[in-house]
Amino acid sequence: MANPSNDFSWAAALAGVRNGIVKISILLVVVYAVISLVGLFLEPADYRQFPLIESRVIIWCIAQGHLMFGAFVLGVPIFVLIAEIIGVASKSEQYDRMAKEFTRLLAMSYTLTAFLGGLLLIGLMLLYPRFVIHMRTVFEPTWFWYLAIIFMEVFFAYLYWYSWDLLKNRKGLHIFIGVMVNLFGLAILLMTNAWTGYMMTPEGVEGRDIAITVTDRLQAFTNYTWIPLNIHRFIANVCFGGAIVGAYAAFRFLCAESDEERARFDWMGYVGSFIAVSAFIPLPFAGYYFGMEIYHYSQQMGVSMMGGSFAQLWYLQAILIGALFLGINLYLWLGMNRIPGGERYRKFQIAILVVIATGFAVWATPHSISATVAEMRAMGGTHHPKLGVLGLMSAKNTAVNMMILATFLNFMLYRRGNMVATTRWSMAGKTAQLVGILATVGIVVGYGIYGYFVPIGVSVGFSVYMVLAVLGCIFLFLLIEFPMYKGARSLGEIQWGKMPERSQYVLFFLAVSFTWLMGLMGYIRSGIRQYWHVYGVMQDTSTGAFTPTHGFATGVVSVIVFVFFLLIAMVFALAMRSERKEQRAS
Amino acid sequence: MHKYSLLLAILVWFCIWGALKWVNPPIPGSVMTLFMSIATVSILVFIMADENRYNSFLAPILKLLTEDQLFVPRVFLLTLFPLFMGWVTYERIRPRFDPPYEGRTIHPEAPSTFRFQGKSFDVLNTTNPLRDPAELTNFKDNLREGKSIYFLNCAFCHGDLLDGNGHFSAAFNPLPANFRDIGTISQLEETYVFWRTATGGPGLPMGATPWNSSMPVWQDFLSEKEIWQVVLYIYDASGSTPRTWE
């Protein structure tokens, strides 16, 4: 892709935008031509078999890959825009430069997203034609709008990139273009989630299979899981985007040849991970809401997800999220080493680590323990008399809330690293914060224990109070924190770039873990439909309509993650090349 | 303290291991592996979080691997380590007479409907008819009937105290369910328990290994009302409350 700085003219910028649109148009024409041409030589069929690899697996890989790139190109513009606005408000070149750096990654990822989207369309049309007929019956009118929105998104995204330097003195207009990128991105998210949500929780149709009548298209669009899926994916996209740009910064940090470059990419990695972690904290709550809605739509689907054949995969999820919490806190502790005064807070490391490690252990303790007959006899059943209590939701809700609280506190200590509060009421403020934290711990642990003495339906409801207590504590803490540290005495500037290399591998770990989690959770969400294309409405009668073994499924997820990182590494390399070109040109 | 990072790390690791080993009844191997993995990673995270801690942790290891005067202990360690790994491998693959681990789903998903004595039974929308307000006057009678059915049919496996420790329980793998455990019927709706009782082991889906349950198909021996009565009884006698969604 050409660089906006190479030629500071609107003609060049518009040519870049035109090329972007032409590229997408050619891709769509190719997709249409392939489907039409191949369709001429194929016999009509409900399903077709892909050579060597099972059709379902090939569609799974392409769809997940498309979704990952889609999440990246929809998530990143949100914080690019925020960074640009902060840059304008604080008159900081640094933020503007970082926002541009992120956008550079974005622009290159659009092509890959569109390419994978095209492949997915070809795959579905050729391998699952009957399913496509069903979806067309329900959603055909939305397809035109989808295409129109894609073109608008591409138009604004390329314009946003190519006009970066041209509009550097008219930031308001550039920010407006950024807003448009985000609005059209959001529209794409809402539309695709309607299709996915419909497949899980269909509404607004009567009949079965392809003999259906659409009774209420709007209801089919705004189906039961549409809103929770939108919320969950929106937050997850931001989190995922932050983690990937964090990995990019880590890659650049490790390749850096000067202290200045190291400082720049250290800061960028910190911002990327900060965005990922900030979005990560509310993500379990959004996931919980999504899961609750699935239960409410179909208890059978809910039990499949949490208690049935997919239950074991949640332990994998718990292990990954627990490891993510450890990784995030390690990154913060390593970061404190470059903050003058950060050593004052080293004494809290053990306490925070104990909370995180204990929470991790509780969260990952299985409800149904894999054990030999001898072990089961010793336990007196499949539930350990002492550990059994840790396998239930009350314990797990307590654990996750305590881990979130501990991580938040660690971040606050990091933030205070080089500051000494000078306000007269700082002691009273800190005491109030301590009381708030202790009260929250009391509420979370108290409800956690009380949950064992009430019916399960009641204890599930306690999770809402726990979440509200934690969020309330965070809110009140910050409400005191900001004015308390206003005008604080500085113990020295943060020494950006003075990070050990292992800290950058933590950023890689975060990015890979987030991506793997996304693949795993996507599989669970899709897998709980079991042998239905559209749950309860259109059955999957192909040879691949069975739930694969966990080993196979996690293997496929790993392959997808591996290929995704190969492709994203290519994006990183192209971004570096583009930047070098820009430097040479200037 | 930094000077002894490696030593302290090993000590803490063994303290955690010892404390977990001390738990009675013993923690199954799969969970021990999980807990000790978390402990190991957490200790390493703590060490890596600080430069001094990290360097002093690595120093004795690097010293052992590089310094000439430590040649003998180095050779000893480098010989011992593969031998230790060989022993671990042998322990894992040597023939055993115990049945292997089995990933069994304890609460498999219920079907939305199933065949009960020739008619369709709606699992999702049915409630226990004996809890209807109109039936509450007969609640004690139903409980008494349920108790009688339980002791005539179920107690031999599930036990007099409903703790899964009946006379025949020792012969079964997996063991009969312990209704007093908060992880069993308290987690389930009554219709779920009705389905499990009515269809027994053969009614389980594949993930729950239907060939691995000795639970009879009770719809062949008991009427619908009798099954509801026994469901009512096991909740009442075990002090459990059925799960509800609202």
Q: Kindly report, residue by residue over B213-242, the tens digit of the pLDDT.
A: 889 999 999 999 999 999 999 999 998 888
Higher-pLDDT residue of B99 and A481 is: A481
pLDDT tens per residue, range A102-113: 888 887 788 889
Query: Is the predicted pLDDT of residue A45 greater than 90, yes or no?
Result: no
Per-residue confidence (pLDDT) for residue A137, from 0 to 100: 95
Given A360, A368, A372, which is nearest B106 (Cβ)? A368
Contact A384 B48 (CB under 8 A): no
In the CATH scheme, what is the homologous superfamily, with its name and number, of domain B113-238? Cytochrome c-like domain (1.10.760.10)
**Residue A366 DSSP symbol:** -
Q: Hey, what are A137's tokens?
A: 């019956």
Q: Which of residues 118-147 of B touch A (CB under 8 A)?
A: 123-124
Nearest to A361 among B26, B38, B49 (CB): B38
Best mutation target among B44, B45, B104, B114 (most A Cβ atoms within 10 Å) is B45
Q: How far away is chain B from the Cα of A394, in angstroms, using its nearest Cα?
A: 11
Backbone CA torsion sign across B135, B140, B143, B148 = negative
- Report the pLDDT averaged over residues B186-190: 84
pLDDT category at B101 given cuts 50, 70, 90 is low
How does residue B120 score in pLDDT terms, banded at 50, 70 and 90?
Answer: very high
Does residue A39 register a pLDDT over 90? no
| pTM for this model (two decimals) | 0.85
How do strand A211-214 and strand A419-420 relate by DSSP bridges? Answer: unpaired
| C-alpha–C-alpha distance, residues A157 and A161, integer Å | 6
Which chain B positions have a beta carbon within 8 Å of A453's beta carbon?
none
Query: If you average pLDDT over residues A461-472, what whole number do you get?
Result: 89
State the pLDDT confidence band at A56, using cuts at 50, 70 and 90.
Answer: very high
State the best of B22, B42, B55, B114 to mutate against chain A, taking most chain A CBs within 10 Å. Answer: B42
pLDDT at position B102 is 61
A342-349 contact pairs (CB < 8 A, 24+) = A342/A414, A342/A417, A342/A418, A345/A413, A345/A414, A345/A416, A345/A417, A346/B50, A348/A409, A348/A410, A348/A413, A349/B46, A349/B49, A349/B50
Chain B residues within 8 A of A382 when measuring between CB atoms: 104, 106, 174-175
What's the token pair of residue A171? 């930031």
Range with the largest mean pLDDT of A43-47, A52-56, A403-407: A403-407
Query: What pLDDT is recorded for position B205?
Result: 77
Chain A interface test: which of B43, B47, B106, B114 (most A C-beta within 10 Å)? B106
Interchain contact, A369 vs B28, CB within 8 Å: yes
Judge whether B173 is closer than 8 Å to chain A, CB to CB: yes
How far is CA A516 from its chain centroid?
10
User: Is it the case that residue A4 has pLDDT exceeding 60?
Assistant: no
With beta carbons less than 8 A apart as the criterion, state whether B228 and B139 touch: no
pLDDT > 60? residue B246: no
SS3 assignment, position B177: coil
Over the stretch A528-541, which tens digit does the pLDDT of each residue have? 888 899 998 999 99
Residues of A in contact with B29 (CB under 8 A): 371-372, 375
Among all residues of chain B, which has the CA nearest to that of A392? B183
pLDDT at position A460 over 80: no
Q: What is the mean pLDDT of residues A511-528?
A: 94
Displacement of CA A284 from its chain's centroid (Å): 11
Q: Which tokens go with B220? A: 């062949």
Between chain A and chain B, the number of residue pairs with CB atoms below 8 A apart is 173
Q: What is the ipTM of this complex?
A: 0.86
Q: Which of A349, A376, A456 sits opposite B49 (nearest CB)?
A: A349
A374 pLDDT band, cuts 50/70/90, is confident
> What local confidence, expressed as pLDDT, does residue A10 receive?
84
Specify the pLDDT at position B207: 64
Which chain B residues are Cβ-neighbours of A456 within 8 angstroms?
Answer: 186-187, 241, 243
Distance CA A172, CA B11 (A): 60
Chain B hits for A531, Cβ within 8 Å: none
Q: Say what the pLDDT of residue A289 is.
A: 87
Higher-confidence residue of A382 and A389: namely A389
Q: Which two tokens stand for residue A116?
A: 């994978």
- Residue B25, phi then psi, degrees to nearest 5: -65, 160
The model's pLDDT over B15-27, given as tens digits with 9 standing for 90+, comes to 999 999 999 889 9
Cβ contacts of B91 on chain A, cutoff 8 Å = none
Predicted local confidence at residue A7, as pLDDT? 52
What is the residue extent of each domain of chain A?
Answer: 10-311+547-585
**pLDDT tens digits for range A116-154:** 999 999 999 999 999 999 999 999 999 999 999 999 999
Q: What is the mean pLDDT of residues A53-57?
A: 91
Q: Are B231 and B193 in contact (CB under 8 A)?
A: yes
Q: Alpha carbon of A164 to those of A16, A80, A107: distances in Å?
A: 12, 12, 12
Tell me the per-residue pLDDT of A168-193, one tens digit each, with 9 for 90 and over: 889 999 999 999 999 999 999 999 99
pLDDT score recorded for residue A201: 93
Which chain A positions have a beta carbon within 8 Å of B242's beta carbon?
455
| CA-based nearest residue to B35, from A304, A369, A84, A196 | A369
Q: What is the mean pLDDT of chain B?
A: 89
Residues 6+ apart with CB under 8 A from B95: none
Residue of chain B minimizing CA distance to A342: B50
Task: Establish if B148 touches chain A: CB-CB under 8 angstroms.
Answer: no
State which amino acid sits at residue A454. Answer: V
Question: So what's the pLDDT on residue B100?
Answer: 66
Between A320-334, A500-514, B161-175, the lowest mean confidence (pLDDT) is in B161-175
**Residue A97 to residues A102, A171, A180, A266, A374: CA-CA distances in angstroms?**
9, 13, 20, 14, 63
Q: Tell me the pLDDT band of A552, cut-offs 50, 70 and 90.
A: very high
Task: Please determine, for residue A489, whether its predicted confidence score (pLDDT) is greater than 80.
Answer: yes
pLDDT, position B104: 64
User: Which 37-56 residues of chain B touch chain A by CB within 8 A?
Assistant: 38-39, 41-42, 45-46, 48-51, 54
Cβ-defined contact of B98 to A323 (cutoff 8 Å): no
In chain B, residues with a C-beta closer than 8 Å to the C-beta of A502 are 48
Return the number of other C-beta atoms located less than 10 Å from residue A342's C-beta.
21
Is the pLDDT at A28 greater than 80? The verdict is: yes
Residue A8: predicted pLDDT? 59
B182–A356: do the CB atoms touch at under 8 Å?
no
**Cβ atoms of residues A440 and A405 within 8 Å:** yes
What is the bridge-based pairing of β-strands A532-534 and A538-539? antiparallel
B 85-114 residues with CB < 8 A to A: 98-112
The pLDDT assigned to A284 comes to 82
Q: Does B35 touch chain A (CB under 8 A)?
A: yes
Provide the shortest C-alpha distance from residue A440 to chain B (in Å). Answer: 25
Closest CA of chain B from A163, distance in Å: 43
- Looking at the predicted structure, is the pLDDT value of residue A377 above 90? no
Nearest to A230 by CA among A204, A202, A191: A191
Side-chain half-sphere CA neighbours of A98 within 13 A: 31
Domain boundaries, chain B: 2-93, 113-238
